[in-house]
Amino acid sequence: MAVHLLKQNPDQIRIYSRDEKKQWEMQRRFPEFRYIIGDVRDVDRMEEAMKGVTYVFHAAALKQVPSCENYPYEAVKTNVVGSYNACQAAKAAGVKSFVALSTDKAVKPVNAMGTSKAMMEKIICSENQQGGDTVFSCVRYGNVMGSRGSVIPLFRSQIMEDTPLTLTVPQMTRFLMTLDQSVDLVLHAMTRAKGGEVFVRKAPACTVQSLAEAMRLRYSPKREKHPIQIVGIRPGEKIHEMLVSEYEMQRLTEEKEYFTIHPEYRLPKKPSPKPLGEEYTSANTRQLSEPKDIFALLEAMGEVEIYI
């Protein structure tokens, strides 16, 4: 994401993380950033790192569903306590805008990762009730194409290694959003937030079966003969991604490309409520089933995200 933010010509971009190896690899390619080793579990270190900072984009998280299922308290310490620490550091540093990156899994969570991110959203969106000049908001994503840990890099590596493409459940659906679109959503939140909102960008979706079939046609020398293996659903995994629940649908405003979910303490004057019970999910958004339509997004995806 930081690489994409370079297009906005900032005075400086600081990379704060605990992963020394990824910072070293990233610094070799992008020496113009300032790199700071630290952990969101350490509030004093974050206060030091945020001195003089205007905008904070909070992406630190334990985000792998299986590992959070095995070690849920570690998810709490990073995703919940770490997010609270980041908020306190931002207020102490006089940050203008703080945008936290959340996930579809925070909506009606069924796993430890989603539960911890749901609490993260509550913490971020409540901060504007506590006073101070920092504006806090969240963005909520489904599947970001090419992001680290997502299914597209997995399929690409399996094609390169000439091993079967592993599907959990063929009818499982996932949103298809490019990295540029995800950064656009962050900038939208940064410029539009008044405090406490969750911003969602609309996106098409497809089944993982359709995605696998399109990717083998696009990247595999074997094309449709490249094998696909069904491995079954993982613990805590959802069949469909949900970005707006039926409860949130009653306090949102809608634009052509975005939903804005407003906090209960600052309801919009002119909401765009949906029928009771309606939700926004990867099963009821625009569906892509033809390989050519998925090819277009794969071309727009750009480079697979390596670092963040």
Q: Which residues are known to be catalytic? A: 105
Residues 6+ apart with CB under 8 A from 12: 33, 34
For residues 244 and 261, the answer to whether their CB atoms sit within 8 Å is yes
Alpha-carbon distance of 236 to 277, in angstroms, equals 24
Q: What are the b/e assignments for 147-163, b being 16+ CB within 10 Å? A: beeebbbebbebbeeee
Cross-strand pairs, 287: 205
- H or E stretch at 21: helix 20-29
Query: Which DSSP category does 175 fall into?
Result: E
Round to whole Å and give the CA distance between 238 and 73: 21
d(CA 256, CA 236): 32
Q: How far is the CA of 19 from the CAs of 24, 66, 118, 241, 308, in angstroms?
A: 9, 20, 24, 29, 11
CA-to-CA dists, residue 245 to 104, 278, 281, angstroms: 10, 8, 8
